[in-house]
């Protein structure tokens, strides 16, 4: 299963990774680069409503623990866990970008392998009402 991303998100993420000095590149950046290179790219406005992209609000469930998380996927400078904003370059951000509501995603996070289910995705411009 390949992620689906917009051309704008592809360019933003690609530029972000390329602009960082090699000393600041993490394993997750390499994974993100692989994800976006293998992703299906679509014209802006061509993504289905329920696909996670930059600035998406989403709810995801860890199927092993049953815990759910409501988060927003943002550029690294806007990330703030206290505000439930995670970076697109975080392990969870890399795992979920380009996938949509109802999908199951298997990914190795810092806490070990996880099986995640995307419950909801909100891409409306106003504040999410989850």
Structure tokens at 104: 């199951």
Strands 112-122 and 85-87: unpaired
Task: Tell me, yes or no, whether 53 lies in a domain.
Answer: yes
Distance from the first to the final alpha carbon of the chain: 27
62, 41 in Cβ contact below 8 A? no
pLDDT digits (tens, 9 = 90+) for 103-129: 999 988 888 899 999 999 999 876 555
Greatest CA span in the chain, whole angstroms?
39
Residue 95 resides in a domain: yes
pLDDT in tens, 28-68: 778 888 888 999 999 988 999 999 999 999 999 999 999 99
What is the domain count for the chain?
1
pLDDT of residue 26: 76
* pLDDT at residue 18 tops 90: no
CB 83 within 8 A of CB 96: no
**Which residues form the domain of 57?**
4-122
Does 100 map to a domain?
yes
Instruction: Give the predicted TM-score (pTM) of the model.
Output: 0.87
Q: What is the mean pLDDT of residues 14-30?
A: 81
Q: Is residue 128 part of a domain?
A: no
Which whole number is the average pLDDT over 92-108? 93
pLDDT at 39: 94
Tell me the backbone φ, ψ of residue 4, rounded to 5 degrees: -120, 120
Report if residue 79 sits inside a domain.
yes
CATH number at residue 15: 3.10.50.30
If one compares 80 and 23, the residue with the highest pLDDT of the two is 80
Euclidean distance between CA atoms 97 and 104, whole angstroms? 13
């Amino acid at each position: 299963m390949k992620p689906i991303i917009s051309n704008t998100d592809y360019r933003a993420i690609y530029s972000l990774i390329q602009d960082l000095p090699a000393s600041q590149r993490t394993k997750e950046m390499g994974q993100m680069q692989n994800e976006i290179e293998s992703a299906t790219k679509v014209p802006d406005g061509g993504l289905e409503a329920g696909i996670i992209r930059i600035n998406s609000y989403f709810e995801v469930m860890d199927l092993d623990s049953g815990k759910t998380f409501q988060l927003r996927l943002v550029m690294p400078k806007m990330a703030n866990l206290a505000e439930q904003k995670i970076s697109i370059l975080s392990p969870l951000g890399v795992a979920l970008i380009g996938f949509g509501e109802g999908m199951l995603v298997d990914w190795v996070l810092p806490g070990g392998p996880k099986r995640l289910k995307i419950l909801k995705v909100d891409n409306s411009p106003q504040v999410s009402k989850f």
